[in-house]
Structure formats: structure tokens, C-alpha cells
Structure 1
Amino acid sequence: MSLQIRRATLADAEALSAIAIATYTETWGDSYPPQELDVFLHEHYGLAPQREELCDPRSAIWLLLDGEQVVGYLAAGANTLPHAEARDGDIELKRLYILAAHHNRGHGARLMDAFIAWLDQPHRRTLWVGVWEENLAAQRFYARYGCEKAGEYDFIVGSTHDREHILRRR
């Protein structure tokens, strides 16, 4: 069975929270002290923040489904990245995560294509993405969609400050 993509609704808040926590932990869990990671995950990816995001009319989230099981997602919304040229109406790709068991099968590109189609209707909007400075694979992936480095900022999880590149597609 091929994996399906669909837009998330408020009814998906619990599944979205679960996949957000699972994929972040799988990807970055060993990068932070466990207690600090738990606080971060609850504050950013718990049920309440996911419901809030799903209710925000400026947000859009796509789920990658293996049958009924969510195995990845892409979340976008109003830009919050700190850049002097950011404007109201700009969109930030907040998160694009897929469980490792489903990597390297083109699903990230499929999610990104669905997002770009939404982003550019009815007109092309500026896209912002924050990417860890050492995540070269992600930087190459976003470059394929026209994103270029426009700045840097610190992404903070507890006492850890990770240097992030701010990418922009005009």
C-alpha cells in the first residue's frame, strides 16, 4: 500500500501531537538533556499547542499516512523567524518530519509538493525555513525548492542553543 497525504483537521490533534513528539525524539532526542527535551516537547508539540495550530487559519498541516497510522507530517504557518525582511503574509515551514522507517522513499518531496501548491495559491508567497546549521541534507533539500540562506538565529531547547540557518524562497 502506498502512503497517502491529506490535510490535517482538528480531529487529528492527538495523532499530530504523537507524531510530532515521536519524530522529534527520534531525530534529535539524544541532542538534549532528557528533562529539558521533555519540557520542550510538551510545550511545543503537546496536545494543546497542536490544537491551537490546527485552529489557526494561517496554518496548514499535511499528514503522511500508512493506512490509518500517521508516519510523517509537514506543518506551516505564519512566519516567526527573526529576520528584518520578513513581512506579514509570509509563511514559515515550521516542521517536516517522517519516521526513519519511511525515509529515502520520496515522501518528504511529496509533502513539500503539496505544501508548495498550497503556498503559491492564489499567488506566490515568501517562504521561510529554519534549518540546523549542520543539517546539510535538509539544506540541500530546501535548496531544490529555491530556498537560499538569508540569516541565522539560535534555536533554543532548555539550556542548549543550536545555530540555525534562516532560509528564504522569495
Structure 2
Amino acid sequence: MERIYVLKEYHGKKAGQFLVEKAINTAQQNRVDFIWLGVWEENHRAISFYQKNGFAAFDKHIFRLGDEEQTDIMMKKIL
């Protein structure tokens, strides 16, 4: 899992939770050891959401968005 995007009008309606749970279930069915994703360091709401779902930061990397460089926090969940 690299990224999940949910339209703003669906925030707080469990859409993101459904998608994360689906990704976790799929990973478990495929017997992988962990899943990971990247999240923009300024997206505090998303970081908190992933932490509540058992993800922990393990690294950072640069993500290019057009001409702009942004730092993503790499987060991982052990399964």
C-alpha cells in the first residue's frame, strides 16, 4: 500500500478505514510480513489515522509533485 486518497466530503465517514482494512486483509491473505505507505509530512490528519491503525514511521523520502519537492514519511505496519 503506498497511498490512499479520500475525497474531503467522505472524511469522517469511514471510507479511509474501509480501504485500509481491505489492504490489510489482502496482505494477510497473501501472507506478507508487513505493509508500508508514504504520507506527506504536513498531512497530520493522515499520519494520525495511520498511527491509529498500527502504522509506525520508519524513514523519509522526497516526493516530487510537479516542480515541488515534498517530504513523505514512510510508515509500516507489521502483520
Q: TM-score range by the shorter chain?
A: 0.7 to 0.9
Could you tell me how far apart the structure 1 residues matched to 2:12 and 2:48 are?
14
Partner of 1:165: 73
Could you tell me how far apart the structure 2 residues matched to 1:127 and 1:150 are?
12
Bigger relative contact order, structure 1 or 2 (CA pairs below 8 A, ≥6 apart): 2
Q: Which runs of 5+ in 1 are unaligned?
A: 1-92
Could you tell me how far apart the structure 2 residues matched to 1:94 and 1:168 are?
10
Indicate yes or no: 2:38 matched with 1:130.
Answer: yes
Partner of 2:12: 104
TM norm structure 1: 0.43
Could you tell me how far apart the structure 2 residues matched to 1:124 and 1:158 are?
33
Q: Which runs of 5+ in 2 are unaligned?
A: none
Cα RMSD over matched residues? 1.4
Offset, 1:124: 4.2
Write 1 or 2 for the structure with the bigger share of helix.
1
The percent identity for this pair of structures is 27
Offset, 1:159: 1.9
Offset, 1:140: 1.0
**SS at 2:12 equivalent:** coil
Offset, 1:102: 1.9
TM norm structure 2: 0.85
Determine if contact 2:61/2:72 at 8 Å carries over to the other structure: yes
Q: How many residues align?
A: 78
Partner of 1:147: 55
